[in-house]
Chains A and B, each alone.
Chain A
Amino acid sequence: MSRQPNRLASGGLVDRNKPQLFRFDGQPYQGFAGDTLASALLANGVSLFGRSFKYHRPRGLLSAGPEEPNALVELRSGARREPNTRATVAELYDGLEATSQNRWPSLRFDAMAVNQLFAPIFAAGFYYKTFMWPAAFWEKLYEPIIRRAAGLGRPAGSEDPDHYEKAFAHCDVLVIGSGPAGLMAALAAGRSGARVIIAEEDFRLGGRLICDRREVDGVPSVEWVARIASELEAMPEVRVMLRTSVFGVYDGGVYGALERVNDHVAVPPEFQPRQRMWRIMTRETILAAGSIERPVVFGDNDRPGVMMAGSVRTYTNRFAVAPGTRAAVFANNDDAARTIGDLEAAGVHVDAVIDPRPGSTDSVRSAARKAGSELIEGAIERATGGQRVQSVDVRSNGSTRSLSVDLVAMSGGWSPTVHLTSHQGSRPVWDDQLSAFLPGQTLPPGMTVAGAATGQFSLEACLAAGAAAGLDAAGRCGFRRAQLAVPSADPESTAVSPLWRVRGTKGKAFVDFQNDVAASDVELAEREGFRSVEHLKRYTTLGMATDQGKTANVNGLALMAEITAKSISQTGTTIFRPPYTPVAIGALAGHHRGEHFKPTRLTAGHAWAKRQGAVFVESGVWMRAAYFPRPGENDWLETTIREVNTVRSAVGVCDVSTLGKIDVQGRDAGKFLDFVYCNTFSTLAIGKARYGVMLREDGFAMDDGTTSRLAEDHYVVTTTTANAAKVMQHMEFCHQVLLPHLDVQMISISDQWAQYAIAGPKSRAVLQKIVDPRHDISNEAFPFMAAAEISLKGGIPARLFRISFSGEMAYELAVPAGFGEAAIVEIIKAGQEFGIAPYGLEALTVMRIEKGHVAGAEFNGQTTARDFGLGKMVSTKKEFVGRVMAQREALTQPDRPILVGLRPIEEGFRLRSGAHLLNRGAEPSLDNDQGYVTSTTYSPTLRSWIGLAFMKSGKERTGDTVRAWDAIRGTDALVEVVGPCFYDPKGERHHG
């Protein structure tokens, strides 16, 4: 066990009484509560965190925050393994396991590091140029090599055992960030009475106030933060959300935020999610996201030990870790003074302060003097060392010398975190004075930006701007602005002069660390004509991947501007899009995965069917019984054959509750249905049912079903299971939009009524036993296509329809859903003496194909009523949806494919859907195509496989023998063209 050699004896926001044991690459370490994985490893003297993407160069920590490009690790193990996690934001917990990635075989010795030797060929556009030819080499040769050589972490490869939630929140003022500006904004809005949410991606409030040693209101900044935090926590209308990253701005004041509820524990407690996706609805938003420090582009600036100066201060001050022993500070701004002071306070001697600005500034000079550091006017040309920086070459006054250091704290200035301001299309604007991109002119509605995110880099300015923004936002929401004094802060200088890169350096000068894009790649892109920022990004991959160029973009643009002798504002910038930081797919999916991907609907008879041993199948959102196996039956086909034979010879019962049912009432109900269907319903007699086909406005068939008229102004429409919701929406559209003057109302009653098909020669006999005797259901009184409201078993309300899908004498009996289970029990009981059996979707399908009824496979969006052989049904006398377009030339051509039946010539041949029809001797080609098979089944009634197909001039070709050519299954069989109705084509049986 390591003893944390780099941990300072005191200070910091870590709890030395709470040691946390963890492993990195199998090695055990100890850190403290309050650490990140990065700070804990640094405390243990670990400086090598990973290997770079292309060149496999050794990489350490560049930063201490979400912008980290280098220190990506795989967190956890097994099914919980999470690749590409930034060690700088991974909160340490007891038992944490992390593994370095993109190294082989080990982090210290990486065989792929030889890629560095070939760096010239890995330059920008390398993949585009090298692997273009021959195309056949891609899959077998290039891709596997690239995948091994380049890449990040490995996904878990098994199902995520944790769950994720989605939640909604509403507020008046959303404050993003909890640095000085964010805290003041939340305080101001909260004291004014607004409902406030303050979201902080860290696990602690404070932003830079807990990373720098500042003074606010006369107390150390850490104390001031604690005071404000407790006041915010005490306000009932203020909600403080830690570990919550606001990652996107959406329309209408909607913000996406990811709360890492349990990422800081090994396993989430029972019934708790790992992460929660928030949709925050807000009226006003204050973006106080701070700023991100920029690296300086010099030779081998990626050596472990070369770090951002502000992050060095974060490690010394917040985490009480000394990131080195002898440091060089290299900065173009006055933050250097603070860096020198903090390093000295942490016991790290600053050997040299390198300032490219002529004469430096008072504040830097005095800090250097106080620390006994040599102040050098010049620049670092190159860092040297392998897995850790050992020295730097410093150029000053035309000569270069080497300084031995193990830590370089660099700063190229700060870039405001403007990302969220451009999520709705606004481009950031360059400010020469501040050497920074500032938020553009048009912010997302309701957003204001305060503090460093808008270029206010001094603490006092941040506090004041936050307070003003909070009061203004609350005021705009109608609250009275509270009285609020802006606290004082210790003085500072924020002077900065741009320095983008050190010219004439040897070694690779990295611009984008994560993508291994060096200054030379930007130069190459320029030479090859990829000068626009969008081209630069795609050609070099600058600004891509998990960090989206948070530390790289501005330097990349500045370099391109310098090379092309343009200003940065002329060069432009790429636009930031959501998400600000990576969001796991699991969090976006929430509970919608596996069987919960969509809701599951069960019919009222489901539990009964389950008790009968039914095998269920998903049908849209419904679970439907597919078949009811009995002991001794070997497969679904055997069961299905028995079920079909039972219906055809005796009686069967099938749950058809999943059909869509729509109740249509009103004086104009008939007129309305005439408009919705291609055939006529206003002429339907009361107490009768009729089959109808509905067209889309483009003339193609949309849905079908039977509609019954129960009263002058009352119809009950049925739709197919799959289209129930779509038809309802369509009918509402027809009424509300197209025929608003009609007096008609409709409502879905699919869930309110359970419905059973009772089919077979004995069906009436069964029903007569349960229908109350006052209802005459004899063949004469209740013939084929009759419909009535009746009652069962002494008063249970029901509806009876004499309709048949199977071709047998059949009824559909509807009961209120609450009686659904009782009804099926009674039907079975009554049918016992006639040999009744329940049948499922399989038998239903067999019988509908035997009868040539069209269903889902035939309603494929390319077929018309005429194609179904139902052309005569289509009214020519009235207006209806699809009427005109159905008369288009191509939809009415006589040789257009029409529904036919097919029977294989060879006995026992299994016909399959999808096969195409060809004339004998014809080559398979589009020109020779005669049609296609849509539905097939084994017909127990005909003892043969049969099929339905759409075939050119199909009617005229009855009796012909053609080929069913199935390229996918490799079959080519002769079939006879027959009429689509295989069973009882005269329809004698259903008349009973």
Chain B
Amino acid sequence: MRIVCPFCGARDAQEFSYLGDASLQQRPDTPAGAPLDDAAHAAWHDYVYLRENPPGEHTEFWYHASGCRQWLKVTRHMRTHAISNVEAARPSSLRGAA
């Protein structure tokens, strides 16, 4: 498989390491110091342990370990492995500012 890195171009999948479901970006917001209620525990349980695995398009995290070291969001069809979109996890607006 090849992934078109927005920074490095088309590269062999071997250069990347895989993390999975990109919904990991939506980390629950539980303020420090506040008591943890059932809803907070449930939200964290889902966040840490539950992953989508749809039979169609799915957006996942890939890390270009042997390249630019950027975390990428790759939209891939789980049946055909066809990749329809690759973008940097960190928005370009923020990247420019840093």
Contact = CB atoms under 8 A, between A and B. Distances in A.
A779 B37 CA distance: 49
Given A251-B81, A254-B1, A876 B91 contact: no
A884 interface: yes
A717 interface: no
B90 A740 contact: yes
B78 to A, nearest CB: 12
Interface string A258-286: 00000000000000000000010100000
Interface string B20-36: 00001101101111001
A666 B95 CA distance: 13
Interface in B35-86: 36, 40-41, 44, 47-49, 61, 63, 65, 69-71, 79-83
Interface residues of B, number: 39
Interface string A724-743: 01001100110111101111
A254 B2 contact: yes
Given A279-B12, A743-B98, A745-B98, A736 B70 contact: yes
Contact of B1 (A250, A698, A729, A885): A250
Nearest to A888: B41
A878 interface: yes
A478 interface: no
B71 A733 contact: yes
A359 interface: no
A253 B24 CA distance: 30
Contacts of B83: 252
A425 to B, nearest CB: 8
A250 B71 CA distance: 24
A875 B33 CA distance: 10
A877 B36 contact: no
A534 B88 CA distance: 43
B97 interface: yes
A741 B96 CA distance: 11
B36 A884 contact: yes
Contact of A251 (B1, B65, B69): B1
A737 B24 contact: yes
A933 to B, nearest CB: 30
Nearest to B65: A729
Contacts of B36: 884, 887
B48 A877 contact: no
Contacts of B19: 733
Contacts of A252: 1-2, 81, 83
Nearest to B61: A737
B1 A884 contact: no
B94 to A, nearest CB: 5
Contacts of A425: 79
A216 interface: no
A772 interface: no
Contacts of A733: 19, 61, 63, 71
Contacts, number: 81
Contacts of A738: 25, 27
A724 to B, nearest CB: 13
B98 A666 contact: yes
B91 A877 contact: no
Contacts of B28: 884
Contact of B44 (A745, A877, A885): A885
Contacts of B12: 168, 254, 279
Contacts of B97: 743
Contacts of A251: 1-2, 13, 81-82
Contact of B71 (A279, A698, A732, A884): A732
A737 B1 CA distance: 24
Contact of A737 (B30, B31, B90): B90
A683 to B, nearest CB: 15
Contacts of B82: 251, 445
A883 interface: yes
A876 B71 CA distance: 29
Contacts of A697: 47-48
Contacts of A424: 80
B32 A879 contact: yes
Interface string A864-908: 000000000001111100011101100000000000000000000
A174 interface: no
Contacts of A732: 63, 69-71
Given A250-B1, A425-B79, 6 more contacts: A666-B98, A732-B63, A732-B71, A743-B97, A878-B32, A884-B36
Interface of A: 168, 250-254, 279, 281, 424-425, 445, 666, 697-698, 725, 728-729, 732-733, 735-738, 740-745, 875-879, 883-885, 887-888
30 contacts: A168-B12, A250-B1, A251-B1, A252-B83, A253-B2, A254-B1, A254-B2, A424-B80, A666-B98, A698-B48, A732-B63, A732-B69, A732-B71, A733-B71, A736-B71, A736-B88, A737-B24, A738-B25, A740-B89, A740-B91, A742-B98, A743-B97, A743-B98, A744-B98, A875-B32, A876-B32, A879-B31, A879-B32, A884-B36, A887-B36
* Nearest 3 CB-CB pairings of A with B: A251-B1, A736-B90, A252-B2
